Amino acid sequence: MSFRLPVICDAADYVVHFNDEVWQRAAATICARQGLSYTSLRRSPQGENIIFFGDEDFVIKIFAPFRENYLRETEALAFAQGKLSIKTPDLMHTGEIDGWSYLVMTRLAGQASREVWARVGPCDRLEIVSRLGLAISELHKYAAPLQTGLDRDWRGFIERQARMSIDRQRACGQILSGWQVCPHTLKRGLRGYRQTTSLCFSTATSMPVIFCLCKRADAGKLAA
């Protein structure tokens, strides 16, 4: 390997090196190592990890060493495999390159929600969110393995994310009036569920921020 990846100690270092050209060479090296062929290897402009798309076939994620995302995501992909009524990516390869963990997974067909959500009608949006809720309800029928990357304070995580969500959306230029109409609309729209905590929904980009717990009216299963 004729290059070195940056040494990252904290989030500030990560921001400085996030757009370095070396990541393209790292992704190409991963493809060669794993025997992955491609015509185009394109860097994603979104996401908190280093993400590349190999044509329409696979996704490479390179994870910052100072975060816990790698273990959590690999465990979650393996745990969800084959358990849901919606398709999830298949975990193809995992490994490490110059101290940075990576995974390769299949790329699902379709478009990123952030790119098309503004053109999706209200009824279809609620249908999508309803299906997500049902999928998570299906997942909650299984006991998550303990002592893995999935073992954490999830209730505290949800509460922290909910507290930060409005500030995050405000920083992105969201229209704050959009947050006020969602909970009432959601109670009517999520079929078979009642809302037990709040859900934020921005009308600026119309992206749902799903940091709520919903419960089926006829069962005790959580469907966050």
* Amino acid making up residue 126: L
Instruction: Report the pLDDT value the prediction gives residue 150, as an integer from 0 to 100.
Output: 62
- One digit per residue, pLDDT tens: the chain, 224 residues? 677 898 888 888 888 888 899 999 999 999 999 999 999 999 998 888 999 999 999 999 999 887 778 888 898 898 888 888 889 999 999 999 998 999 999 999 888 887 888 888 889 889 988 998 899 889 888 887 665 666 667 778 777 777 777 777 666 654 444 444 344 444 444 444 343 333 434 334 444 444 333 333 343 333 33
Q: Where exactly are the structural domains of the chain?
A: 11-106, 113-216
pTM of the model: 0.69
- CATH no. for 11-106: 3.30.200.20
pLDDT, residue 218, reads 40
- pLDDT for 193 equals 38
Q: How far is CA 173 from CA 62, 87, 112, 115, in A?
A: 28, 32, 20, 16
| Residue pair 49/62 in contact by the 8 Å Cβ criterion | yes
Strand partners, 222: 215
CA distance 15 to 21: 14
